[in-house]
């Protein structure tokens, strides 16, 4: 049972910002339903792109939590997007009848509560309490979603099982926000675009992912190659510690330089998109099986092109090569 008094007491000891961070961590657990295979298809009749909206809102909240500050413009736009689907306050749309669509609807509603905890710091404890209460109800709903599932619809059963397994697994790992590596101001000083330089020095990059290990090895400054000034921001992940991820100090583009090759593959158009791409890769391959490699590779490229469309238009070699490896089962988790 949800303990109102205990939760109220715990939140009362936190600052408004801390309350918003707690609410964010809880809500991002339920947002994983948007990444489940087939989630969009279950919601197309009601609102196409709904799963992507849930993922976008979750990513924005993660940025707020990592920076411990509100992205006011981003939150305002995201609340407008959510309200367009959920309905204005006090006039919310009816919840869909289908199981997966209903879960997505509730996940979006919870994310909207957390956005308010950031946007209204004077009521942050109230919105954090409401978020935690709704997350508890969401978990209870998951435990009872077998009711109404038609036995003759195996896809419903598969999705339902995935939701239960995925949320419980990620909930265990979500007690702490993913660790970030924030770069020293002096190290990233050569990056000319102030927005990119400040992002590296404040929000940083994921410290460790399957593809990336944040690092600052270029103590003598950026290296020049083919008239480009490239500054190393990390090495390859556990599978490739010889490769280097580097940012072009003039354009802000991120490249991967293989330890055994002289050429550089363009990975992303900006460091913030690169961070999102790294986290998306980990989400897509989480719990993936060898036999599901081709489908996992398709989901990976769909995510990559949504996050950074320039990849497909300008230089898809890095991600298409990675997708080929995923399709072969090289990154399968089970």
pLDDT per residue as tens digits for the range 162-210 = 444 444 443 344 333 457 788 998 999 999 998 899 889 888 898 888 8
Whole-angstrom Cα distance, residue 258 to residue 318? 10
- Label residue 271 exposed, middle or buried (CB < 10 Å: 0-12, 13-18, 19+): buried
Selection from 176, 206, 179 nearest residue 273 by Cα: 206
pLDDT band, very low/low/confident/very high, at 253 (cuts 50, 70, 90): very high
Whole-angstrom Cα distance, residue 22 to residue 155? 34
Q: Are 136 and 29 in contact (CB under 8 A)?
A: no
Q: Are 126 and 1 in contact (CB under 8 A)?
A: no
Kindly give the residue spans of alpha helices, DSSP state H, lying in 87-188. Answer: 99-119, 124-142, 154-173, 185-188
Supply angle C-alpha 30, 171, 158, rounded to 5: 65
- How is residue 95 annotated by DSSP? P
- In this predicted structure, the answer to whether residue 2 has a pLDDT above a threshold of 70 is no
Question: Across-strand partners of 168?
Answer: none
| Of 80-89, 114-123, 223-232, the least confident | 80-89
Q: Quick one: CA dihedral 169, 295, 278, 102, positive or negative?
A: negative
Selection from 278, 258, 282, 283 nearest residue 268 by Cα: 278
| Of 13-27, 56-70, 165-179, 253-267, the least confident | 165-179
Q: Which tokens hold the place of 239? A: 């599978």
pLDDT in tens, 265-322: 899 999 989 998 998 898 888 767 788 888 889 989 988 988 888 887 777 789 999 9
- Residue 234: per-residue pLDDT: 93
Which CB contacts under 8 angstroms, 24+ apart, belong to 308-316? 308/268, 308/269, 308/270, 308/273, 308/274, 308/276, 308/277, 310/268, 310/269, 311/266, 311/267, 311/268, 311/269, 314/266, 314/269, 315/265, 315/266
Question: Residues near 131 by Cβ (< 8 Å), separated by ≥ 6?
Answer: 23, 26, 27, 110, 113, 114, 117
Whole-angstrom Cα distance, residue 3 to residue 127? 16
pTM of the predicted model as reported, rounded to 2 decimal places: 0.49
Q: Are 249 and 229 in contact (CB under 8 A)?
A: yes
pLDDT over 70 percentage in the chain = 73
Whole-angstrom Cα distance, residue 247 to residue 269? 10
**What's the chain's Rg over C-alpha atoms?**
21
Q: Which residue has the higher pLDDT, 332 or 48?
A: 332
Helices 293-307, 271-285: axis angle to 10 degrees equals 160
- Label residue 251 exposed, middle or buried (CB < 10 Å: 0-12, 13-18, 19+): middle
- Residue 256: per-residue pLDDT: 92
Q: What is the mean pLDDT of residues 109-130?
A: 86
Q: Which residue has the higher pLDDT, 113 or 159?
A: 113
User: Rounded to 10 degrees, what is the CA torsion of 304, 215, 197, 211?
Assistant: 0
């Amino acid at each position: 049972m949800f303990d109102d008094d205990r939760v109220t007491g715990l939140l009362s000891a936190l600052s408004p910002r801390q309350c918003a961070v707690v609410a964010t961590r809880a809500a991002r657990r339920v947002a994983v339903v948007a990444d489940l295979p087939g989630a969009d298809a279950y919601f197309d009749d009601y609102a196409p792109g709904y799963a992507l909206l849930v993922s976008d809102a979750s990513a924005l909240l993660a940025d707020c939590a990592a920076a411990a500050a509100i992205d006011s413009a981003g939150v305002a736009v995201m609340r407008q997007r959510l309200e367009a689907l959920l309905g204005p306050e006090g006039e919310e749309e009816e919840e869909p009848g289908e199981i997966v669509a209903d879960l997505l609807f509730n996940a979006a509603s919870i994310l909207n509560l957390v956005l308010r905890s950031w946007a209204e710091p004077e009521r942050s404890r109230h919105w954090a309490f409401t978020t935690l209460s709704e997350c508890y109800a969401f978990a209870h709903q998951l435990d009872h979603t077998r009711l109404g599932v038609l036995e003759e619809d195996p896809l419903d059963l598969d999705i339902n099982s995935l939701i239960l397994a995925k949320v419980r697994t990620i909930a265990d790992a979500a007690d702490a926000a993913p660790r970030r590596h924030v770069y020293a101001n002096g190290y990233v000083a050569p990056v000319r675009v102030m927005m990119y330089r400040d992002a590296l020095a404040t929000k940083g990059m994921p410290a460790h992912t399957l593809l990336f290990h944040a690092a600052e090895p270029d103590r003598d400054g950026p290296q020049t190659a083919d008239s480009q000034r490239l500054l190393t921001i990390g090495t390859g992940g556990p599978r490739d510690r010889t490769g280097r991820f580097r940012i072009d100090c003039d354009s802000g583009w991120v490249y991967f330089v293989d330890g055994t090759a002289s050429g550089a593959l363009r990975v992303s158009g900006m460091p913030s998109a690169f961070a999102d791409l790294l986290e998306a890769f980990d989400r897509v391959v989480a719990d993936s099986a060898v036999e599901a490699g081709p489908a996992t590779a398709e989901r990976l490229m769909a995510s990559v092109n949504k996050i950074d469309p320039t990849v497909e238009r300008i230089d898809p070699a890095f991600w298409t090569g990675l997708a080929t490896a995923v399709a072969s089962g090289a990154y399968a988790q089970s």
